[in-house]
Amino acid sequence: MKKLISILFAVVLAASVLFAGCGGDDKPTQPNQSQSDNESTAAPTGERPVVTVGRLQNINVIDYDNNALTKYIEEVTGCDLQFQFFSSRVDDAKTQISARIAGGEQLPDILMSIAMGSSVYTQYGREGYFVDLSEYFEDEEKSANFWNMLRSNFDQSFQDTVIRTMTDPDTGAIYG
């Protein structure tokens, strides 16, 4: 369990850094729409960029905004994390995400701890709802924490499973 928590922390930290320039707004966007086609979501000068994190509601966490992990990630990345919650049941959360997509609503910048399955990641990624992160994983400097943690904590078979689960088998894109 500690290894899984370590992986999740590394991925969240890496994703937070990767998406430090991404901020959410309430305006729905179309898939594959470039930033120039949409209003800027960058924070005004002097303000920290906002990164929205969508996750399952967990009754064991009293306060997501003021807990030590959130504060640490905000300090390291210079971002303001804001949380959007989905049902605590994964199947219900998947339905809520699908409904948002169908309704043209904007998704959070990061979906955390919502095991939707590789086929769902691939489908939504190919449709432009998820960002291809493969260039970040190919850059050893940008993804060193992830790769070091994966290699030092898991055997090759599990590493291969993680990579296969993350990667679109046809394009090599990484969506989750």
pLDDT at 76: 94
Assess whether pLDDT exceeds 70 at residue 122.
yes
**Contact predicate 109/52, CB 8 Å:** yes
**C-alpha to C-alpha distance for 57 and 142, rounded to whole angstroms:** 30
Burial of 54 (0-12, 13-18, 19+ CB in 10 A): buried
64-118 residue pLDDT tens: 999 899 999 999 999 999 999 999 898 999 999 999 999 999 999 999 888 888 8
pLDDT at 38: 36
Query: What is the chain's mean pLDDT, rounded?
Result: 77
* Residue labelled with tokens 């979906």: 111
DSSP 42: P
pTM: 0.65
Among residues 79, 86, 76, which one has the least CA distance to residue 24? 79
Q: Residue 94 corresponds to which amino acid?
A: K
Do you know the residue count of the chain? 176
pLDDT at 83: 94
**In percent, how much of the chain has pLDDT > 70?**
74
pLDDT category at 27 given cuts 50, 70, 90 is very low
pLDDT at 117: 82
